[in-house]
Chain A
Amino acid sequence: VRTIQITVNGRAEKIEDGLSVAAFLERRRAPQPVVVELNGAVLTGEERQQRILRDGDRLEVIRFVRGG
């Protein structure tokens, strides 16, 4: 299987080539709901389904936490 390297929440990760953002999140068992930013731009739900991750992509997976 061909792999690519992406950065997820600031950490480099090697992943299988050809995964959509949504498929990657599912594989990583990401909690729901989250906001996803790819290379600095927020993705809609549809974009998560369609966008295939590429080598060098920077993914941020963010959610609400307790705060004041």
Chain B
Amino acid sequence: VKDTLVIGGREITNRLFLGTGKFSANRLIPLAVEASGAQVVTVALRRVDFDNPDEDVASFVPPSCILMPNTSGARNAGEAVRLARIARAAGCGDWVKIEVIDDQKYLMPDNDETLKATATLAAEGFVVLPYISPDLIIARRLQDAGAAAVMPLGSPIGSNRGLRTEEMIRILIAEIKVPVIVDAGIGRPSEAARAMEMGAAAVLVNTAIATAHDPVAMARAFGQAVAAGRTAYLAGLAQPSDTARASSPLTGFLYE
């Protein structure tokens, strides 16, 4: 049976979403995409520096991928809406990751402003994936406002601290109908696998891959971990027990 994740009418078979921030060179991006199998890739929007024009990062993302621009830099709903419209004008589709942040120490998303931006953009036909602090009530409101998924943080952006919000994410997975995608903080493949075992629909990983000693090999490791965690979730995990349960038969011993 094909295990697909459908978001915004697109069928996705690889549940690792890849962020492109912090790669030391653009040429590593297509290699990481290929090694991981990622089908959804994030980018950001910034002003052109006329004195030092960078290469166009979108041209390094394989055309088969879904490009998901984020609204990083937005401090309120209005700025996020503006960035989303600019992103759509670039002609790379309707997907947008809403990221509204006005806290520079922990980069915590502003859930209230994120909800406002999501409602506006969903009504304009965007496929909206909001980055949030994991909270059931805001996740329900986002779902009602037309969010295509919700993306709770595991721990602060770029912190590599893993699934510190695990219990809150479990509640979202249990209660929210749209896909729950763990975004931010995942530092190792084992943490990505754990999120998938919990029933997350996908994970978004950036820093842990892009800043690894070998980003392409790490992309491959994350792709494998996400696939393994998903398979384990679908297989149904065996229950833990406080005491031993013998694996071998307790009858027919040779010394009886």
A8, A28, A65: the one within 8 Å of B45 (CB): A65
What is the total number of residues of chain B having a CB less than 8 Å from a CB of chain A?
Answer: 36
**Complex contact B45–A64 (CB within 8 A):** yes
The reply to whether the CB of A30 lies closer than 8 angstroms to some CB of chain B is yes
A32 to B45: give the CA distance in the assembly, Å. Answer: 14
Give chain B nearest CB distance to A37 CB in angstroms.
6
Give chain A nearest CB distance to B72 CB in angstroms.
6
A64 to B57: give the CA distance in the assembly, Å. Answer: 6
Asked if A68 meets B47 with Cβ closer than 8 Å, knowing A33-B56, A35-B90, A63-B56, the reply is no
A30 — nearest CB in chain B belongs to which residue? B48
**A62 surroundings in chain B (CB, below 8 A):** 45-48, 86
**A32 surroundings in chain B (CB, below 8 A):** 56
A63 to B90: give the CA distance in the assembly, Å. Answer: 8
B88 — nearest CB in chain A belongs to which residue? A42
Q: Give the A-binding residues of B (Cβ under 8 A).
A: 19-23, 26, 29, 42-48, 50, 53-54, 56-58, 67, 69-70, 72, 82, 85-87, 89-90, 92, 157-158, 204, 206-207
Leading 9 A-B pairs by shortest Cβ distance: A67-B44, A68-B19, A68-B206, A68-B21, A31-B53, A9-B47, A42-B89, A66-B20, A64-B43
Q: Give the B-binding residues of A (Cβ under 8 A).
A: 8-10, 28-35, 37, 40, 42, 60-68
